[in-house]
Amino acid sequence: MTGSEKTRETIVEPTIFELGRPGRCGFRLPELDVPALDPAEVLGAGNVRQAGPDIPDLSEPEAVRHFTRLAELNHHVDRGFYPLGSCTMKYNPKVNEDAAALPGFTRLHPEAEERCCQGSLSLMYHLSRHLCEISGMDAVTLEPPAGASGELTGMLIVRAYHTARGNPRSKVIVPDSAHGTNPASLTLAGYDAVEIVSDDEGRIDTEELRKVVDEETAAIMITNPNTLGVFETHIEEIIEIVHGVGGLVYMDGANLNALLGIVRPGDIGFDVMHFNLHKTFSAPHGGGGPGSGPVGVKAALAPYLPYPVISRDDARPEGRKYHFDYDRPESIGKVHGVYGNFLVAVKAYAYILSLGPAGLRRVAENALINANYLQAALREHYDLPHGDYCQHEFVLSASRQKEHGVKALDIAKRLLDFGVHAPTIYFPLIVKEALMIEPTETESRESLDHFAEVMKEIARESESDPAVVQGAPTATPVSRLDEARAAKDLDVTWKRRNA
């Protein structure tokens, strides 16, 4: 099994604008069987376009084949292993997609009256209750459309809470292992970030924490398990220190995979947290679809949640039980148009119901076992700077390989030659040449073994033949691209072929 046995499939795929011929069409509408109206008369002449849209002319099979060919050039979780740490690229069961495709959900108008969407309101209400049950929080909003947006929502709630007590305070503490969105979110909410250095084991240093905590501390943002895959064992002490000055404790729950059914952040003492439905609760994300970043809070913070809150009132007549509650004078307001990415919530709801409490706990157990199995298989071949046992992910360092001129980036690129997606690299920032690996619970032992063998092979190559790794990938449709150029030198002009 060597990657170099594969030869490069070259891209021969033109852009869709270069395909097809003028006048070709995928679908034609039948002749009109009602009286034709003059658009200029109905809409006003100024609102009617003079020429048709300049879009490519393709038959349906041409369009389908174009996108199928492009999809085959790409790596995705339905095609192979995708150990992208912190992003939780678990396999997404197709039954979730079936649920989200039900016409009652997809054809629902966002402004539909309450009495016309009781089923969907009931789903949102019950999903929020399930997330409360899973996390130990008292109330949840589904409005934020992503994890980062959930963090900002959480920080605005923190701000509203302190403001109501007379002083919004000025700073929020973040460990140096935090996801980059943490400092960005607290800054957007008007706070100053105070970074604290982790100890030798990659955990929050409580002595360092005591030095920076004071009456201006609005909150601390903690990821637990942290981005090194290490559980914060002093969590109760940390929470006590911050609560001691009246500060709040925020949990970045983007990666709840390790905790499901085992630990509830609300029970430990966290006041506010966000979830990433698109990571933990199996909705396709990244290039595959939109996200959802619900925020959970303890009862004291519930008045500040974004409105409308989906409420249930059994005293109301049937057909109006579930309703939008806009009467929230202390709310931070809306954080998203309409009510969030509803279909992502449908997928998460289907996922939670199909697994049930025991199944969710098994998700976490298998995620932990898979990560520890891989870590044990690789720790002799790569440096492992932090942690003995890991949680759902672990971080290796390619420092040893770098002595031979092979960087983490080269290893990531070489993996592509073996049909494996690269892990997250150069994050967390506190590990040199970081390779952050999260296998997830959905992988079989065979796929973990395959990945371990490939990683060992690359470690051997790095010593014996570093040029092979440095020159990778050679089996992918394109080799190394200039990653910044498409953004800096954007060219969206096109010419119709045979125009």
Ligand X SMILES: *Cc1c(COP(=O)(O)O)cnc(C)c1O
* CB neighbourhood size of 362 (10 A): 15
User: Out of 58, 137, 142, 146, which residue is the one contacting ligand X (CB under 6 A)?
Assistant: 146
What is the nearest approach in angstroms of ligand X to the Cβ of residue 193? 15
Distance CA 80, CA 85 (A): 15
CB-based closest residue to ligand X: 147
Q: Is 143 in the site for ligand X (CB under 6 A)?
A: no
Q: Taking each helix axis from N to C terminus, what angle separates 118-135 and 342-378, rounded to the nearest 10 degrees?
A: 30
Q: Is 141 in the site for ligand X (CB under 6 A)?
A: no
Q: Is 255 in the site for ligand X (CB under 6 A)?
A: yes
Residue range at the interface with ligand X (CB under 6 A); choices 30-38, 144-152, 164-172, 398-406: 144-152
Q: Whose structure tokens read 């990938």?
A: 473
User: Out of 223, 224, 282, 397, which residue is the one contacting ligand X (CB under 6 A)?
Assistant: 223
Two structure tokens written together for 337:
């148009």
Distance CA 337, CA 160 (A): 21
Q: Residues 23-62 vs ligand X: string with x where CB under 6 A?
A: ----------------------------------------
Q: Is 144 in the site for ligand X (CB under 6 A)?
A: no
Give me the phi and psi of 310, to 5 degrees please: -85, 115
Q: What are the residues whose beta carbons fall under 8 Å from the beta carbon of 464, sequence distance 6 or more? A: none
Q: Which strands make up the sheet holding 248-253, listed edge to edge?
A: 139-141, 295-297, 272-275, 248-253, 217-222, 171-175, 192-196
Q: Is 276 in the site for ligand X (CB under 6 A)?
A: yes
Q: Residues 151-190 vs ligand X: string with x where CB under 6 A?
A: ----------------------------x-x---------
Q: Is 147 in the site for ligand X (CB under 6 A)?
A: yes
Q: What does the radius of gyration of the chain's CA atoms come to, in whole angstroms? A: 26
Q: Is 433 in the site for ligand X (CB under 6 A)?
A: no
- Looking at beta carbons only, is 154 or 293 nearer to ligand X? 293
Q: Is 86 in the site for ligand X (CB under 6 A)?
A: yes
- SS3 sequence, 439-463? CCCCCCHHHHHHHHHHHHHHHHHHH
Q: Is 254 in the site for ligand X (CB under 6 A)?
A: yes
Query: What string of DSSP letters covers 361-387?
Result: HHHHHHHHHHHHHHHHHHTTTSB--S-
What is the nearest approach in angstroms of ligand X to the Cβ of residue 286? 9
User: Out of 142, 148, 158, 221, which residue is the one contacting ligand X (CB under 6 A)?
Assistant: 148
Distance CA 480, CA 476 (A): 10
User: Out of 175, 202, 291, 439, which residue is the one contacting ligand X (CB under 6 A)?
Assistant: 291
Residues at the contact surface with ligand X, assessed by CB under 6 A: 86, 146-148, 179, 181, 223, 227, 252, 254-255, 276, 291, 293
